[in-house]
Structure 1
């Protein structure tokens, strides 16, 4: 965030619609913490500016008449540490994922109100990743899919009978020493079983192991 007396942060605007380009200039210049570095209406014009005047953040449309905004983001990111925000009418899943895969620091829709737009620019400059709610929906869906893929299935887990016994005792709150005594094993052997359980269930604690085992039906909720 700009401190009092700091120069305004310089914003490049790449947008092919002249009316919207003027509007974005007005929004940016209305905030004393920001100023427009330059504007361009196409991909080629924007690439010619990359090595020119310094820019703190690029505000880029996805659909340019001679190229894709995501490709421009890739070129900018390959050349240095610069912030890039996508500003587009496209709120579909494919566009969101393609833009963020390119390295964009945020994804905003063009109906974002002026105050929210300025706030998002400042947020991106501070290292955050502003995302329009419509775009965030797709990211949440992807995250949930990844979690489901990462979670082992009962077949993947394949806990031995002894490992299941150890888990059932842990689910009742027993310690390593107590579990070892009931199973007539050494504490060291119980620890070896626990390591195998953690590996198979992709967890890092007894509580997580018990939770995952119940979710997978390896042990019952009453255990």
Structure 2
């Protein structure tokens, strides 16, 4: 079955460009275009896409607010794609529940891959954005060191969290831990629920903010 994609952007040229890129793929179907966040919410309700490509700056309702309102819908994955790769936009988008962040000048190959990756249940952030975010986490002291929620995780759930924070896919985590990929997916769901997180990306942020992992040092023992 095709991956059903909704494009939300107030600029017609951007929507058309994304439609051309994604529509060229046999496994991706663009099922609609929304002109702002409010329109996107309505179309999500009616058309039930698998993935939403969401711009940030839009009239009536911006992409960040629309993403927050979709956060509790597990069937819909949001990739924020915007002209502005400012750090505050990135962090706000990820905390709002987006599972991916791309800039609009990303290559067609990266945009196509992002849709496939998030549909599989993984997360994707543009490499140049990831580097800046890790540098930012390195410079800032952990805000939630010793979070008691970590004590609720089983050893396997903690291993899965460390794998996600290291940027590994479910398949890569499964290979590392000698588990079935379907088993890893179950651990991911349970781990996110225990930590009160909405997505893998939020799990990465949590891992860095609590000091569980440190950029450049790899996962910390414990």
Structure 1 range deviating more: 107-116 or 129-138:
129-138
SS of the aligned residue for 1:134 comes to helix
| Aligned equivalent of 1:11 | 5
RMSD: 2.5
Higher RCO (C-alpha 8 Å, min separation 6): 2
SS of the aligned residue for 1:85 comes to strand
| Aligned equivalent of 2:87 | 93
Q: How many angstroms does 1:150 deviate by?
A: 7.8
In the alignment, does 2:35 pair up with 1:41? yes
CA distance in 2, matches of 1:150, 1:26: 43
In the alignment, does 2:118 pair up with 1:111? no
| Aligned equivalent of 1:81 | 75
Q: Give TM-score scaled by structure 1 length.
A: 0.61
CA distance in 1, matches of 2:46, 2:59: 22
Q: Residue 96 of structure 2 is aligned with which of 95, 102, 105?
A: 102
Q: Give TM-score scaled by structure 2 length.
A: 0.61
Contact 2:36–2:62 (CA under 8 A) maintained in structure 1: no
Contact 2:7–2:32 (CA under 8 A) maintained in structure 1: yes
| Aligned equivalent of 1:71 | 65
CA distance in 2, matches of 1:46, 1:151: 37
SS of the aligned residue for 1:10 comes to strand
Q: How many angstroms does 1:139 deviate by?
A: 2.3
CA pair 49-138 structure 1, distance change in 2 beyond 3 A: same
Contact 1:123–1:129 (CA under 8 A) maintained in structure 2: yes
Q: Deviations over 1:115-163 (max 9, x none)?
A: 11101111111122111123212320243246667889xxxxxxxxxxx
Contact 1:28–1:35 (CA under 8 A) maintained in structure 2: yes
Which has the larger Rg?
Answer: 1
CA distance in 2, matches of 1:17, 1:87: 12
Contact 1:91–1:134 (CA under 8 A) maintained in structure 2: no
| Aligned equivalent of 1:194 | none
